[in-house]
Amino acid sequence: MPMNRVVRLVKRPAPGLVSPDCFEIRDETVPEPGEGEFRVRAQFVSLDPAMRGWVNDGRSYVPPVGLGDVMRAFSAGTVEASRHPDFHEGDAVVGLFGAQTHAISDGKGVQRADTSIAPLQTWIGGLGMPGLTAYFGLLRVAEAKEGDTVVVSAASGAVGSIVGQIARIKGCRAVGIAGGPEKCRALVEEDGFDTAVDYKAGNLAGDLAAACPNGIDVDFENVGGPILDAVLPLMNPFGRIAVCGLISSYTATTPPPGPANLRFLLTMRLKMQGFIVFDFARENPIALADLSQWIVQEKLRFREDVRDGGIDAFPETLNLLYTGGNFGKLSLRV
Ligand SMILES: NC(=O)c1ccc[n+]([C@@H]2O[C@H](COP(=O)([O-])OP(=O)(O)OC[C@H]3O[C@@H](n4cnc5c(N)ncnc54)[C@H](OP(=O)(O)O)[C@@H]3O)[C@@H](O)[C@H]2O)c1
């Protein structure tokens, strides 16, 4: 008899990477849908940097995952039993179904995955939360426009790679920051960035200045810390910084220092705004129409890092995000 393989949070992690004993992974009875519900068999579970924040007990944009609860996660799968009028057996869907193989949903917040446009796993990546984040962060928050120099950090990842490609589609100059020569090579040769800077090469400030001879108009900030400090002095007057993520601090074991170069916010009259992708949920159909069209036109491609190992590999796979061990949108085939 099939069982539901589930990841539950059982302990709050200490600062740093999440130790595997924070999670309990076990078999549970496959749940039956009630009236107005359906059951999804997940095929791909998404691993996202935000998970490090979700397991902390603190004030944020969503409540923390409760101790004993199924770990919060997006996944993509197929409806296998339904008592919901609008969802039928065989429908491909994406939602916050949790880190488990079988989940019950009432359909709220569930996105249909059109696999004629892109394969199922892409709907938790380029056509899912990361793609929407790139789209809204760049075009709505940072208001990137033709001719801008756009810098994006964590550029080879799920969000960053799409930011650079949309920047190019919109006529901007795209400069990526990533760790290591192979990721930087791929940004230029495969994703079409104008240039890429390896922040691990030891000369970030100089290399970034050389990569941005006309300064920076838009910074899509995924990392924070020393990377933001290198970007700030290069920002052009009235530049915009979209704070999407601060991954360099997520696993810090001591409180990270504030940006040393914040004075450029004042002297260059910069606008800096944090955002959460869910803020734009009502506009998702517009973004998905654009992203889908760019796929069809072969202007946009997605790098996916799909790992095997099933649900049991969840804890160690999650930590790859904070050590640069992933290359593209990270997910688990379950
Ligand atoms: N605001 C929102 O609504 C929203 C939504 C989705 C994601 N995000 C944020 O967007 C960012 C990227 O997320 P993603 O899903 O696309 O992840 P990702 O970029 O696919 O993976 C994370 C990457 O971050 C880089 N990284 C990790 N630690 C670093 C450090 N200390 N310094 C520099 N780079 C580091 C690594 O690449 P390297 O090998 O290049 O170091 C790693 O591969 C994260 O900050 C995430 O929290 C925000």
Q: What is the CATH number of the domain that holds 30?
A: 3.90.180.10
- Say yes or no: 145 and 253 in one domain: yes
Whether residues 271 and 316 share a domain: the answer is: no
Q: What is the pLDDT of residues 71-112, one digit of tens each?
A: 999 999 999 999 999 999 999 999 999 999 999 999 999 999
Has residue 273 got a pLDDT over 90?
yes
- 185-210 average pLDDT score: 98
pLDDT higher than threshold 90 for residue 232: yes
Residues in contact with ligand 1 by the CB-under-6-Å rule are 48-50, 129-130, 133, 154, 156-160, 178-179, 183, 222-223, 227, 244-245, 247-248, 275-277, 321-322, 324, 326, 330
Kindly state whether residues 78 and 142 are assigned to the same domain. Answer: no
Give the model confidence (pLDDT) of 16-28 as tens digits.
999 999 999 999 9
pLDDT in tens, 159-183: 999 999 999 999 999 999 999 999 9
- CA-nearest of 31, 39, 29 to 84 is 39
Does residue 293 sit within a domain? Answer: no
- What dihedral angle (degrees, nearest 10) is formed by the CA atoms of 231, 234, 238, 242? -10
Same domain, 23 and 150: no
pLDDT, residue 1, reads 78
* Residues 36/328, Cβ–Cβ less than 8 Å: no
82 Cα: distance to centroid of ligand 1 (angstroms): 36
Looking at the structure, tell me whether residues 146 and 260 fall in a common domain. yes
In the 8-state DSSP scheme, what is residue 292? Answer: H
pLDDT given for residue 255 in this prediction: 83
Query: Which secondary structure element, helix H or strand E, spans residue 64, and what is its range?
Result: none
Radius of gyration of the chain (CA): 20
Whether the per-residue pLDDT at 256 is higher than 90: the answer is no
Question: Are 49 and 24 in the same domain?
Answer: yes
256 and 176: one domain? yes
Supply the pLDDT for residue 233. 98
Q: What is the rounded average pLDDT of the residues 123-149? A: 98
312-331 pLDDT, tens digit per residue, is 999 999 999 999 999 999 99
Say yes or no to pLDDT of 60 above 90: yes
Supply the mean pLDDT for the chain. 97
Testing ligand 1's pocket by substitution, the residue of 184, 247, 331 carrying the most ligand atoms inside 8 A of its CB is 247
259 Cα: distance to centroid of ligand 1 (angstroms): 18
Nearest CA to ligand 1 atom 27: 322
pLDDT in tens, 37-54: 999 999 999 999 999 999
Q: Is 159 exposed, middle or buried (0-12, 13-18, 19+ CB in 10 A)?
A: buried
**Is residue 148 over pLDDT 90?**
yes
pLDDT of residue 116: 93
Task: Look at strands 235-243 and 271-274 and give their pairing.
Answer: parallel
Using the mean position of ligand 1's atoms as its centre, give its distance from the Cα of residue 321 in Å: 7
Residue ending a domain, choose from 243, 263, 278: 278
Q: Which domain holds residue 221?
A: 129-278
Indicate whether 258 pLDDT > 90: no
Number of domains forming the structure of the chain: 2
Chain position carrying tokens 């059951």? 39
> Per-residue confidence at 252, pLDDT binned at 50, 70, 90?
very high
